[in-house]
Structure 1
């Protein structure tokens, strides 16, 4: 294995066109500017307005009753439709601006803004970290958190513990 972003990698998500951290950071900065996102946009008193502004721009949140949530992921997204699906408990924590909920939400936004579509199913080459949709979405979330100086909490867990 080589070091850095070009290391062979076991995919956690779909294989997508490669985007490195520098480009993801640039994209996250442009998105923050376009959406006029600031640290205060993610405060408990302002996050509702930020979520409404996303809906006005075609990104919708579909809240599912906790009892009906059957996905093993904490949240999920359909980048082609701009829908983010999450259980009510996560949505409630997002509205409280809890760091873990913010990171999960920003991760899902990353899938949308990085235009994730499973495109590279068949390749003779081993996958690289920079081709992993989950790594890219995690990196997008981390870049936004760093840029806006949002509070941090451990790394996102993609699957519920049973």
Structure 2
């Protein structure tokens, strides 16, 4: 449930930009991953499943970072109008990576969308975690969900599904 970004009588065309802090935790080519735009809705249900390869050796490095999900409104104006910021949600990697120590390996969230310091909606979703949790063990118990290349290369990553 998001706020109307295009004024009275119009709905928004939201999409998500995924940002990592610090940025060097993900490869440069993954630093501009977005979902597709969902047109004319204030209650988007994204089916995109972006995948991020996190570049860290252990949980101690990961726990200091965060993912910010920046929710934007696509402006389709032919005149080149800039997209509008609708709000953001920040998720601590220390919380996400704790799911690496669970049997399911899934981090579920429902967080307020914040814009100018105020809650303007809610964003929920799941993140499949294939990173070491606080135990320090790389969760190859979840490797059935990874390609053999990812599992064999110990490529640590998260797959996000946002609804």
Give the TM-score taking structure 2 as reference length: 0.23
More helix as a share of residues: 1
More strand as a share of residues: 2
- Which structure would you say has the larger Rg? 2
